[in-house]
Each structure stands twice: as C-alpha cells, then as structure tokens.
Amino acid sequence: MDSPFTWGYAVYETQEYENIRIDARTTNQAGSPASIGLVCHYDQSLGWLEYNVSTDGTYNVLYGQWLADGVANYLPVLSASSAAIQPSGTSQEIGLICSAGTLSLFIDQTLIRTVDVSRYELTGGKVGITASSFENTPVIAAFDWVRVSEP
C-alpha cells in the first residue's frame, strides 16, 4: 500500500461459513502503526467482524458495514495490547474462531481473548484477510498462508 490511511480487503467469495476457524502466518513490513487482520461472518449488506493485529503491539475487533461502494463504517468492539505481538518484520501466526456469537482471538496458537459479539447478530458469512496502512507508507503486508477449518 502506497497511500496513507488505506484499508485493503480480500474476501473468499465462493463459500459461506457459520462456525469457522481462520489462521494465517503473516509478516507486516511496516513502521508503526500498521495492521494485518482476519475477517469472518462477512455479508455485503449486513456487515462483518474483523480482528486486527497492529505493529505497535495492539489488537482490536471491529464491526464493519458498507455505507457506500468503497466507504465503510467501523464500530470498535474492543481494543487492547498484548506482549505476544511481534514487532514489524517478524513472522507471526494470528487466528480467529467465529462461532455462536463469540470470537476467540489467537496469537501464535495461544488464545489471548474471547469476545461476545452476539449483539451484532451475524451468524455466518464469508471469510477474508485485511491490511491497513494508517499514516505510514509504504506498507508491505505478506500472508505466507491462510487456513480455513472447523473450530
């Protein structure tokens, strides 16, 4: 990403899931802050849930909805920090389980938080990946692999 404050998404369009686990090995080659994340329960009209891990040692969960083509509204669900998050340039695994109104957040296969998201009433949808640049450019966000499986 060469532009500041840019969010990029890639959604796997061919399959929808109810209860799902998404894991990815990532490397974020950016200054701080920039983030890489996972998306679940994506529905074009209803919205999606997103777990982002930032190079500044923080993570967040967002509820996103499209307002117009290319214009999203984000409602923060939670924001916290974790010593488990590696600095920029280090390869790391992130994981997300979406099931029955609950998100389980993982870093390097370790559960760091469980979040109740039942109020958003998203019970299924597509999955995807995301990266964002914030004020720093360029950002090179690499996904070595992404695995979708049953929780």
pLDDT at residue 76 in the model: 97
Rounded to 5°, angle at Cα 45 from 150 and 14: 40
Position 66 in a domain = yes
Which CATH number characterizes residue 45's domain? 2.60.120.200
Is the pLDDT assigned to residue 140 strictly greater than 90?
Answer: no
Total structural domains in the chain? 1
Contact 85, 60 (CB under 8 A): no
Position 1 in a domain = no
Q: Could you report the per-residue pLDDT of 69-118, keeping only the tens digit for each?
A: 888 899 999 999 999 998 766 789 999 999 989 999 999 999 999 999 99
CA-to-CA distance for 37 and 96, rounded, in angstroms? 9
Position 2 in a domain = no
Q: How far apart are the first and last CA of the chain?
A: 32
